[in-house]
């Protein structure tokens, strides 16, 4: 399950992940909600793959408590959707925090420590400073691919599969995105 804030590239990252599963020979289903939800609100997307014997996946979504992994583009959203994970599931989140307008304009209280809340979820948490990677790549748009890189470490698929999927999904800024993907993988390794 991928979550973030409208405009962060959650859908593109989902397409990349789905494409990689397809390249690796899996059946795949990818589903998201857009429309009203894209205007700066919470965005969620699901990517499901079948088994290695080519089994089909039927339902488009993942019901709460059943996701193997949660890839969060923003830390508050990571906390918000952490209960979608199965117990002890993998949670890879960007360090980035985007303060919602409900806090800045309406004074809704903001949690004191998101890190503490993440710890309490019982998930297997990895935090990645993707903004730093974006700075190093000189391109803020590569954040989503860097995050997929950080997730890819846990997925045990060959690098050439990921490279083919990146080429197919983000052909325009290919070099920057490939670099961001590798840096995302490295950042995940360090933790």
Partner 1 sequence: MPVGGSVLLLEKVLLSGNEAIARGAFEAGARLVAAYPGTPSTEIAEMAATFKEMYTEWSPNEKVALEVAGGAALAGAWSLAAMKHVGVNVASDPLMTMAYMEIEGALVLVSADDPGMWSSQNEQDNRYWARFAKIPMLEPSDSQEAKELTVEAFKLSHEFHCPVLIRTTTRLAHTRCPVTLQDRVTVPQGPGPGEKLTLIPERTVMIPANAKRRHPVVERRLEALAASADKSPFNRIENPDGPGPAFITSGIPYAYVKEAFPESPVLKLGFSYPLPMGLVREFVAGRKEVCVIEELDPLVETELRAAGLAVTGKDRLSKIDEYSTTMLQKAFGLPTPPVRTPVPGLPPRPPLLCAGCPHRGVLYALALQKAVVLGDIGCYTLGVMKPLDTVHSCTCMGASIGHGHGMEKALGPKVTSKVVAMIGDSTFFHSGMTPLLGVAYNNGSSKVVIVDNRTTAMTGHQGNPGSGFDARGNPTKQTDLVALVKALGIDDVTVIDPYDLKTTRAVVKRVMESDAPAVIISRRECALLRTALRRPPAVADKETCTACGICMKLGCPALYKVGGKTQVDVTLCNGCTMCVQVCPSGAIKEGETQ
User: Which parts of this chain interact with partner 1 (CB under 8 A)?
Assistant: 5-7, 15, 18-19, 22, 27-42, 57-61, 63-66, 76-77, 79-80, 82-83, 86-87, 98-106, 108-111, 117, 120-122, 140
Is 12 or 153 the residue whose CB approaches partner 1 more closely? 12
| Nearest residue (CB) to partner 1, 35 versus 138 | 35
Based on CB atoms, which residue is closest to partner 1, 89 or 184?
89
> Using an 8 Å Cβ cutoff, are 177 and 147 in contact?
no
Taking the complex as a whole, the smallest distance from the CB of residue 42 to partner 1 amounts, in Å, to: 5
CB of 8 to partner 1, least distance (A): 10
Q: What's the angle, vertex CA 81, arms to CA 79 and CA 85, rounded to 5?
A: 105
**100/182 with CB nearer partner 1:** 100
CB count in 10 Å sphere of residue 112: 8
- Residue 155 Cβ, how far from partner 1 at the closest point, in Å? 18
The CA distance from 162 to 170, in Å, is 12
Are 190 and 131 in contact by the 8 Å Cβ rule? The answer is no
Q: How far is the CB of 89 from partner 1 (least distance, A)?
A: 11
Task: Report the nearest approach of partner 1 to the CB of residue 191 (Å).
Answer: 22
Beta bridge partners of 45: 2, 32
Q: Which residues contact 105 (CB under 8 A, 6 or more apart)?
A: none
- Dist. CA 45–CA 8, nearest whole Å: 12
2/82 with CB nearer partner 1: 82
Residue given tokens 């950080």 in the structure block: 150
């Amino acid at each position: 399950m991928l979550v973030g804030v409208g405009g962060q590239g959650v859908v593109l990252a989902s397409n990349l992940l789905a494409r990689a599963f397809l390249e690796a020979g899996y059946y795949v289903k990818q589903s998201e909600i857009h429309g009203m939800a894209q205007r700066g609100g919470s965005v969620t997307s699901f990517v499901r793959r079948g088994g290695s014997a080519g089994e089909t996946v039927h339902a488009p979504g993942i019901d709460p408590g059943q996701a193997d992994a949660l890839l969060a583009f923003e830390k508050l959203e990571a906390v918000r959707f952490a209960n979608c994970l199965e117990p002890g599931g993998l949670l890879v989140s960007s360090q980035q925090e985007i303060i919602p307008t409900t806090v800045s304009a309406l004074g809704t209280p903001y949690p004191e420590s998101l890190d503490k809340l993440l710890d309490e979820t019982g998930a297997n948490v990895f935090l990645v400073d993707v903004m730093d990677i974006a700075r190093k790549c000189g391109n803020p748009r590569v954040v989503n691919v860097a995050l997929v890189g950080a997730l890819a470490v846990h997925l045990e698929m060959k690098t050439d599969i990921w490279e083919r999927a990146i080429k197919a999904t983000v052909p325009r800024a290919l070099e920057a995105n490939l670099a961001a993907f590798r840096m995302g993988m490295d950042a995940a390794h360090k933790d």
